[in-house]
A and B are shown apart, each in its own frame.
Chain A
Amino acid sequence: MSLVVTKNFGNPQSWTLDSYRAAGGYTALARVLREMTPEDVSDLIKASGLSGRGGAFFPTGLKWEFVRKDPKTPRYVVVNGDESEPGTYVNRYSLELDPHLMLEGMIIAAYACHATLGYVYIRGEYGLAHERTQAAIRDAYAAGFLGSGILGTSGFDFDITFRRGAGAYIVGEETALFNSLEGKRGNPRYKPPFPTNVGVWGLPTAINNVETLSAVPDIMRNGAEWFQDLGRGEAAGTKMYCLSGHVAEPGVHELPMGVTARELIYDYGGGVAGGRGLKGFKPGGASSAPLTPNELDAALEPKSMGALGTIMGTGGVVVFDETTDMVDVAYRDALFFEEESCGFCIPCREGAPNLVQICERILHGQGTMDDLELLEELGASMMASFCGLGQFAHQPVRGAARRFREDFVAHIEGRPIPAAAS
């Protein structure tokens, strides 16, 4: 199958401008500037079915159209590279191995949005990604792909500022990222107004994930239908999935959107490590509720995951072998969200520590069946949280308590936890 966003990863010195151009890089941009109007670009992206790879899957072309139609200027394109979801490391690969692909997509986005300014915001811990992305930006300026009058056009100017994060998961939330860019505390803002109208510095902003933008150049080259057809069923394009946990071969795989978990874990990841049985898996990072082996054949795409009561999320698939205590998994997830809550709203700030406490009680044999009920109530209240962090923080714990109820009950009743079903 065609690779879209990882196609250059194997090229020597793939992160350099020379290597990227040798692989045909920046020709899509040149063609867009020569042949297409901004409307053409966003229409094509809309038709391709490309949607936000950060986990929200909002239609990218529509987002760009909204930004372009807002009369306020300057307009911004912001790259969200604050990839912090546990079990997720796809952006890191892209930024380390092919930053120019993302930049080319970003410049095309700017053209489509009538944007003149951009930020690339990358997670603070991604040292090599900073280095290579900053070098890529420098080289792109030198080569005339950024700055004033890009590629000799008159009137298409686009300038990029690079920023690194300071270590907060919540800043991956787009509006928290804007606050961080503005030098403020990284708390989310309420929506509406949406970033397309009121984004960074209060101005229209297209904020896109690294992977989303990386898909853009090839869509420009090969057309909407080509990209659409790369996905399985109704899902469009490819997705970078990454495997971690008790899997034989952890790593990143670009596969058709909608590939099944079974294919990913067994065909591409070599199955469960040590040949052990599978207890369960998370489809999309820490904030997704875990699934059981019975659900291995579900498509890893937003709709089918939603139907199972979990989320597609970032495509960070985490594998748990048959020896895993799913209460412990839930506990560790809860600890993460307790630590990463920004502290802004009551349900998340005060709720997350209770997820931890309930898990702790159960793990230490002090839990009761009432705790499982309390978990449901707590989760319902956390749904009232200000942003996605709190709205999802309880899902992995609640999800585990529903699908792996036996583990919870075993702890409560002082029995050994059951082995995996498969």
Chain B
Amino acid sequence: MSSETVTLTIDGQEVQVPRGATVLQACESIGVEIPTLCTDPRLKPYGACRMCVVEVQPGPPRPTASCTTPAGDGMTVVTDSQSIKDIRKHVIELQLQHHPLDCPYCDQAGTCELQDEVFDQEIFQSPYETVPKAHPEEILNEVILINHNRCILCGRCVRMCDEQIGVRALDFVERAVGTFIAPAQHEFMDCERCGMCIETCPVGALLSRPFKHAARSWQTEKTASTCPHCAVGCSLLVESRHGSVVRTRSNGLEEPDRGILCAKGFFGHSFVNSGERITEPLVRRNGALQPASWSEALNVISAGLREVLDAHGPQAVGVVGSPNTTNEDNYTLQRFARAVLGTNNVYSQSSGLHAAARTLRAVLGSAAGPRSQSELLESDVILVVGADIGQTHNVVGAHVKQAARDDGRTLLVATRLASGLDDFATVAARVRPGAEAVLLSALAGADIPNMHALTGIDADTLTAMRSRVQAAGTVAVVWDTGVWTLGKAEAIAQGAANLALAHDGVKLFPLPERANAAGTFLLGMAPDLLPGARPLSDDEARRQASDAWGAPVPAEPGLAFDDFIDGPMQALYVMGEDVVGGSANPQGAQAALERARLVVAQDIFMNATTEAADVVLPGATFAEKGGHFTNFEGRLGRLAPAIPPVGKARPDWEIVARVSAAMGADFGWRSHEPISTELAGLMQRPSLPGSRESAAVNGAAPAPADGFVLATEQHLYTAGVSGRRADSLTLMLPEAVAELNAGDAQRLSIAHGDRIRLSADGGEVNLKALVADRVPPGVVSLPDRFLEAAPRQLDPRAPDGAAVRVHKV
């Protein structure tokens, strides 16, 4: 008898399962179907619905729930006796007494587990008196409502929110037959709006307000895809009807999401069908952008590019790719630039990820990463530094909570704002914005004077963190590399590298902000890199690319972006990026674009760059094209078209390929698949040693006593351009806000909702103030990635950590 497995007999069939498996799992392993209602593979066994009862010998002298009974050696299980069948039927009959048969207008109809059971148990008439409940539907928050009448009290929503999300926003209230589900802590459901309570609800009790009565579940087309909103890269099931995306859901239990989504994944899709989409090519005529045919636009572009190339040479041309678009899109643009236009002026804006990745590679070599989420979650210590990853990378944050609670990992949190992670942490501290790199260096053992004043973390807490890091076999260091790391991404990465050099078990996890930022780096969307992020200076890499592309790749690296637009730029081709709005010097960038002979901007919404362009081309969203994103782990997430592109929009790779063809270089692609294959062939990773040298990092000086220090990290409900065009997300956070601590607000006589002015050396912004517990004293938080009130208006180069003044307006 092996201690690893147990052998039992189910309906006369012998089966071997791992020790610890439940009887239900044993049944499923041999295809014996057991009905369940309260079971969800994401959740722990519960045993409330009693549909999965079986007879077990040896065991209690009554039907036993298979979901909560461990499979035992020598056990005999009967799953289909008449009495078991009778019980299952009876259980459904009992539940149906209170369940309205309003299936014709219930959103869950067709995917309702109770409906399926009524059918499977062949229930046509109940022996019990029907006592329908008649509670009105209750709105729980902006996006979630509950129909108590349909609720079967299986507790899946309550457990999902607790076990998987770590929020505990729902609970049972009252008892017996009067039990109902309600917000756990407030009058309304103050949660993370991830929608996973809706996702797991087996009936139509918890409902999505945006999806309500939008379609019958069987009328939608279902397409497996990948979420476009951040670099976790969760799997999505995109449901569409009549060319519109009507909802997105979680799809499968695999990495990286393990079956959960965040607010952006579940509710953030409606930008796809936004009325503000660019739906046709626009060409500037008499100073104004006007609708044009594809052939006219392509002619203008090819003629313009040809003219610039002839007059100024390829150094005058540059292309900008995007972490919002796929690997195939970016690769096509890169090939077009290097092999057709003959320029290495290839760019991709990606906030701090490229900077962090370059620094880590320079110090630690090419082995620095990216690494898998499993490595992260299986580390003995998980250290989260800087931004609250529960906001920036919500699903990873949820998994980290679980790892701390269920798997015994030690969670150390050194974020600038309080967060849901704190509750799961062994040590939680607030690091002062600007001191993140110093803190990492200090944890690496650097002796830094004046630590407390610099970081805001007292000596005991720091010692507690340091001792846990030092004692651990493996340590995952996790930080978001979003816009808040502008101006300090290298320093933070160096601090993290210092820690990795000091401790062999340290693994680094810089989290890219946008869906495909890691992809743009690995693809080499930079003046000095090639696919695989191999250096352009690598002759072999250049030769391979030249061979693949049938044209020589120039050996001379391109210019830095700012040097390029302020220098030789005569033509710029921008795909899915706002180089003006995202610039440290927007006025300068806009002037540069206006000076250029030709600016082509291909995007899904108008922005400062498209406004300054000569030709605007309608790109496609994630839901309208195939391809791949590369997530924070380096894992490929597959996109598949769920709907045809709106209007005359086309997949971005196709647009670039058509421009190339118009210039006489037809790549011959009719779908994204050959691109995926071609680029995969060039993605050999370089083997670079790294300097292995620790370096001192600077910390910002402490803020003046009377002022505030600015924290600018992404809010869970903001997701840049796309997110701000998703109605459900804007409902959750309608406008740009500044958050400050209750004590500070009181001192300045600022009430929740008041208008305030933030001013700094670089400028000022007016916006709404929210009094928020999560903000520590002396800090004002200005969440990034709204369309308005960008933190960069306060300090274009390094807004985070800047000294600001707060005034009531």
- Listed in ascending order, the chain A residues whose CB lies under 8 Å from chain B are 168, 185, 190, 192, 338-347, 349-354, 357, 374, 377-378, 380-381, 383-386, 391
Contacts and interface: CB of A to CB of B under 8 A. Distances in A.
B45 A381 contact: no
A383 B60 CA distance: 11
B94 A381 contact: yes
B176 A339 contact: yes
A20 B95 CA distance: 54
Given A190-B45, A346-B94, A386-B50, A352 B87 contact: no
Contact of B176 (A190, A343, A354, A374): A343
Nearest to B180: A343
15 contacts: A190-B65, A341-B175, A343-B175, A343-B178, A346-B153, A347-B50, A347-B87, A347-B91, A349-B153, A349-B176, A352-B176, A380-B86, A380-B87, A380-B90, A384-B53
B172 interface: yes
B49 interface: yes
A383 B176 contact: no
A214 B155 CA distance: 39
Given A190-B68, A350-B98, A345 B176 contact: no
B94 A384 contact: no
A411 to B, nearest CB: 18
B174 interface: yes
A374 B127 contact: yes
Interface residues of B, number: 35
A357 B48 contact: no
Contacts of B176: 338-343, 349, 352
B294 to A, nearest CB: 60
Nearest to B83: A380
Contacts of B185: none
A408 to B, nearest CB: 17
B120 interface: no
Contact of B90 (A190, A338, A340, A378): A378
A32 B53 CA distance: 46
A354 B62 CA distance: 21
Contacts of A384: 50, 53, 62-63, 65, 87, 91
A310 to B, nearest CB: 15
B95 A350 contact: yes
Contacts of A344: 48, 153, 155
Given A342-B179, A347-B87, A378-B90, 20 more contacts: A168-B175, A185-B171, A190-B45, A338-B177, A344-B153, A345-B49, A346-B50, A346-B94, A349-B179, A350-B97, A351-B94, A354-B97, A374-B127, A380-B83, A381-B86, A381-B87, A383-B63, A384-B62, A385-B50, A386-B65
Leading 4 A-B pairs by shortest Cβ distance: A343-B179, A350-B94, A381-B90, A190-B68
Interface string B432-456: 0000000000000000000000000
A377 B91 CA distance: 11
Contacts of A383: 62-63, 87
Contact of B62 (A345, A353, A391): A391
Contacts of B127: 374, 377
Nearest to A342: B175
A377 B87 CA distance: 9
A377 B126 CA distance: 13
Interface string B533-574: 000000000000000000000000000000000000000000
B94 A354 contact: yes
A175 to B, nearest CB: 12
A346 B177 contact: no
B532 interface: no
B170 to A, nearest CB: 12
Contacts of A347: 50, 87, 90-91, 94
Given A377-B90, A381-B91, A345 B47 contact: yes
B70 interface: yes
A240 to B, nearest CB: 28
Nearest to B97: A350
A133 to B, nearest CB: 27
Contacts of B83: 380
Nearest to A373: B127
Contacts of A342: 175-176, 179
Contacts of A346: 48-50, 91, 94-95, 152-153
Interface in B119-167: 127-129, 152-153, 155
Nearest to A370: B127
Contacts of A190: 45, 47, 65, 68
Contacts of B152: 346
A185 B91 contact: no
B177 A353 contact: yes
Contact of B70 (A192, A353, A386): A192
Contacts of A353: 177
Contacts of A351: 94
Which of B68, B94, B95 has the most chain A CB atoms closer than 10 A to its own CB? B94
Interface in B75-127: 83, 86-87, 90-91, 94-95, 97-98, 127
A343 B50 CA distance: 13
Which of A342, A374, A381 has the most chain B CB atoms closer than 10 A to its own CB? A381
Contact of A345 (B48, B70, B87): B48
A138 B68 CA distance: 41
A41 B793 CA distance: 76
A375 to B, nearest CB: 11
Given A343-B177, A350-B95, A351-B94, A386 B48 contact: yes
Nearest to A374: B127
Contacts of A349: 153, 176-177, 179
